[in-house]
Amino acid sequence: MSPSFSEATRARFERMLARYPDKEAAILPTLHLAQREFGHLSGEAIDYVATLLGFTPARIEGVATFYTMYNRKPVGKYHLQVCRNLSCSLMGAEHLIEHMSRKLGIKPGGTTADGTFTLSTVECLGSCGTAPVMQVNDDYHEDLTEESIDAILDGLRQEHG
């Protein structure tokens, strides 16, 4: 079945559209809405956004692939994005990434077999004063240590059941 927005998302979409002078400017916000609704931006999701806004799928895909936050492939329920830039590296990020890799049994870029976690390394998250930092879905976790990471991951795993 081809994807489509729920009624609530459709209403958010219409309100958002009214803020812009043209539909092109709505491409990024619509892709954000689509990713939230569909989990990732599959080919079908791209087609849906293209139809919704009146552009070719290629035009939408060209935008979606430029920006790192749009996931073209499925990601786990919790997307762990660990900063690997300089301030975080100076505060131990490399070791934390290795620790997470070992703990989860996946390399950066990988997803656990049960689909709970995807581990990614990312560039500067703009939170260098509380390095090392990772973003889990929408939320930042700062001043990370191996212990705090264990607590975060164990907590999320319990939440996931």
Partner 1 sequence: MELVLTTHFGNDRYRHADTYEQLGGYAAMRKAFSMPKEEIVAEVRKANLRGRGGAGFPAGVKWGFLPKDLSRPRVLVINADEGEPGTFKDRLIMSRGPHLMIEGIVITSYALTIHNGYVYIRGEFVREAEIVQEAIDEAYAKGYLGKNILGSGYDLEVTVHRGAGAYICGEETSLLNSLEGKRGWPRVKPPFPASVGAFGLPTIVNNVETIADIPWIVTHGGEKFASLGVEKDGGTRLVCVSGPVKKPGVYELPVGISLRSILYEHAGGMQDGKALKAVIPGGSSTPVIRADEIDVGYDIDSMQKIGTMAGSGGVIVIPEGTCMVRALSVLMNFYAHESCGQCTPCREGCGWLARVLRRIENGEGREGDVELILNVCDNMMGRTICPLADAAVMPAQSFIWKFREEFDRHVRDKKCPYGNTF
Q: Which is nearer to partner 1, 131 or 149 (CB)?
A: 131
String of DSSP letters for the chain: ------HHHHHHHHHHHTTSSSSGGGHHHHHHHHHHHHSS--HHHHHHHHHHHT--HHHHHHHHTTSTTS-SS---SEEEEEE-SHHHHHTTHHHHHHHHHHHHT--TT-B-TTSSEEEEEES--S-GGG-S-EEETTEEE-S--HHHHHHHHHHHHHHH-
Q: Closest separation between CB of residue 81 and partner 1, Å?
A: 8
The residues in 67-96 that bind partner 1, with binding defined as CB under 8 A, are: 67-70, 84-87, 89-92, 94-95
Site string for partner 1, 128-147 (x = CB under 8 A): xxxx---x--xxx-------
Please report whether residue 22 would count as binding partner 1 according to CB under 8 A: yes
Instruction: Specify the residue, 22 or 161, whose C-beta has the smaller distance to partner 1.
Output: 22
Contacts with partner 1, residue ranges (CB under 8 A): 19-29, 31-32, 62-63, 66-70, 84-87, 89-92, 94-95, 123-131, 135, 138-140
